[in-house]
Chain A
Amino acid sequence: MRPSSILFLVANVAIYLFLLLPVIIVIAISFSGTDSVAFPPTSFSFRWFVRFLGEDQLVSALMVSCGLAVASSIISLILGGIAAFAIARGTFWGRSAALNFLMTPLMVPALVIAMALLEFFAFLGTPSILGLLIGHVIITLPYVMRTMVAGLTGADMLAEQAAISLGCTPLQAIRLVTIPMLTNSMVASVLFSFIISFENLPLSLFLSDPDTVTLPMQIYNYIQWVFDPTVAAAATINFLVVVVLVFVAERTIGLSRFMGVMK
């Protein structure tokens, strides 16, 4: 092996360690058998996961997070899909302005969005869960837009024209050709929205009420009062959900496409 490739390897290992070590430590602690948060753990057990399941507040927060992520990613897909169709196919004035506008939640800090929404919803008297849902749709919409616009503007979309030449009405062509061709983009949109929503803390900080505390928020609350491996177990569960989704994405549509969304 040449010295340069050894250097490359060492650098890679160092980067991965830097990125993954905190997560590895938290996961290791969550399987600890001792009462205190200590690394490396001296014994192995599942007791902190059992404890997690016994903590009503954490379990209900997990449920809230899952529900919110499912609902917001489906709503985002429907709204974003329709908007992407109009932007990619339409010829109306101001298309790129509309796209840029829908992408702005990527550029504005989530805290700022959360603060603005808090003021707005307080003014309207919107219930907390509805406010959270709207907030999560806003922050996931850019990911849906990116993926769906890219999918719709792909060269293969000439296939829709071909379908019409073969006898389809325009609506049949969309149903039989365009939508099946966009399956990958739709799967990617939903998975990404789910992850973005599931992990979001700032919106919950501002918009949650006692009944709508999300998992990241509950973890944050928990460690202010108690510092035991239960919180590590919660973090591990949170991490596991995301890893499973990324794995599904990799298996169904390929990670390269998935990562393309981030560019």
Chain B
Amino acid sequence: MSKVTVRDLCKRFPGTVGADGVSFDIPSGQFLTLLGPSGSGKTTTLMMIAGFLQPDSGVIEVDDSNIAALTPNKRNLGVVFQSYALFPHKTVWENIAFPLKIRKLAPSEIDKRVSRLLELVRLEAFKDRSVTTLSGGQKQRVALARALVFEPPVLLMDEPLGALDRKLREQMQAEIKNLQRSLNVTAIYVTHDQDEALSMSDSIAIMNEGKISQMGSPEALFERPNNRFVAEFLGGINLFPITAIHSEGASHTGKLAIADAPVPCCPPIAGMSEPKWLGVRPERVRIGSPAGGHFDATVMKRTYLGGTMLYELNVADFLLAARVPTDGASPLPEVGSRVSVSWPAQSAWPLA
């Protein structure tokens, strides 16, 4: 377990930005996710930390020593790839023992450590099987065990669940998280799946065009994104165009382009450029009887999604989404009816 510091990591590729000044700190034993669309620089960043890509500039420190100049085999980091990258000519046991044999450990020690990892990933019964006979989830568990058996200070994972189906992914998310916690290894995880990032991470760095757009705890990012990219990437959001923000003491109001009355919102973030939108998550939009909220709207469409009803509302030809719990406590108006729309002030974020 070690802390990781990355400073101003840059990598340019011909024609595209790879990473453009990426910096972050991960405290010992924490789980950081690099989240972003493809081409945002998240895998580039991870591969530079692993040592398979040479950064143009920047510092990569593990426990205060710079590893940026080391070859990947000298970095002693665990790496898990999306395509498993197992050794098909070896058994489960041989795959996991491989890094220990390279390190020339005593056979009894190898046996002890491999058995422990096999137990942790629940593959004891498969130890003599060829890895080519395993299912996707089992393969990824072998890959995890192999990357952890030599007790690396840091575990790097590049979309490790990308090849698995949805149900298995959810199960594996929990399993990876448990392994990481029980072995107390610092983890850097790359994904484009926001649910995966939210459920697994201690902190998330959202990447866009080679830069970290915002970094923080899953809750902080979901509940207060500080720019439009983060707001849109992490869950659905309504973006209301605004013409101005008025501040009076602790209360702030936004002037919407689509309604006359000013609506409550949270304060703009210090130093941000002139806000152009108010962002409100559909989950935070409340609907009620007409004239009881910030403004009125017409129900255009509603879709039953099990736990919630998704509404599409029209106000002055602007369409907004609202998710209303189907718990019986909230009214569920029919298509065509007039409703009022409101939200708590802290759920409306001025965004640039």
Contacts and interface: CB of A to CB of B under 8 A. Distances in A.
Sorted nearest first, the 6 A-B pairs with minimum C-beta distance are A162-B85, A166-B99, A165-B79, A158-B85, A167-B102, A180-B89
A25 to B, nearest CB: 43
Contact of A165 (B72, B87, B89): B72
Given A159-B86, A159-B88, A163-B98, A169 B81 contact: no
B149 to A, nearest CB: 9
Given A167-B76, A167-B102, A167-B103, A183 B85 contact: no
B50 interface: yes
B132 to A, nearest CB: 10
A168 B77 CA distance: 12
Given A166-B150, A169-B73, A172-B102, A161 B52 contact: yes
A183 B89 contact: yes
B139 to A, nearest CB: 12
Contacts of B51: 165
B115 interface: no
Contacts of B192: none
Nearest to B90: A180
A159 B98 CA distance: 12
Given A156-B88, A164-B72, A167-B73, 10 more contacts: A156-B85, A158-B85, A161-B52, A162-B81, A162-B85, A166-B99, A167-B76, A172-B102, A180-B87, A181-B87
Interface in A147-161: 155-156, 158-159, 161
Interface string A25-68: 00000000000000000000000000000000000000000000
B85 A159 contact: yes
A167 to B, nearest CB: 4
B338 interface: no
Nearest to A158: B85
Contacts of A156: 83, 85, 88
B71 to A, nearest CB: 8
B316 to A, nearest CB: 53
B146 interface: yes
Interface centre among A155, A159, A170 (most CB of B within 10 A): A159
Contacts of B81: 158, 161-162
B87 A177 contact: yes
B89 A166 contact: no
B163 to A, nearest CB: 11
A39 B51 CA distance: 71
B88 A165 contact: no
Given A161-B52, A162-B79, A168 B102 contact: yes
B99 A167 contact: yes
Interface residues of A, number: 19
Contacts of B78: 165
Given A165-B79, A169-B73, A181 B98 contact: no
Contacts of A155: 83
A163 B90 CA distance: 13
25 contacts: A155-B83, A158-B81, A159-B85, A159-B86, A159-B88, A161-B81, A161-B85, A162-B85, A162-B87, A162-B146, A164-B73, A165-B52, A165-B77, A165-B78, A165-B79, A166-B98, A166-B99, A167-B73, A167-B76, A168-B73, A168-B102, A170-B73, A177-B87, A180-B87, A181-B88
A161 B83 CA distance: 12
Contacts of A177: 87
A242 B88 CA distance: 30
Nearest to B143: A162
Nearest to A170: B73
Interface string A69-87: 0000000000000000000
Nearest to B104: A167
Interface in B23-75: 50-52, 72-73, 75
Contacts of A168: 73, 102
A162 B81 CA distance: 8
B136 to A, nearest CB: 14
Nearest to A165: B79
A125 to B, nearest CB: 47
A166 B88 contact: no
A162 B87 CA distance: 9
B52 A166 contact: no
Interface in B93-113: 98-99, 102-103
Contacts of A159: 85-88
Interface string B131-166: 000000000000100110010000000000000000
Contacts of B86: 159, 162
B83 A166 contact: no
Nearest to A166: B99
A167 B88 contact: no
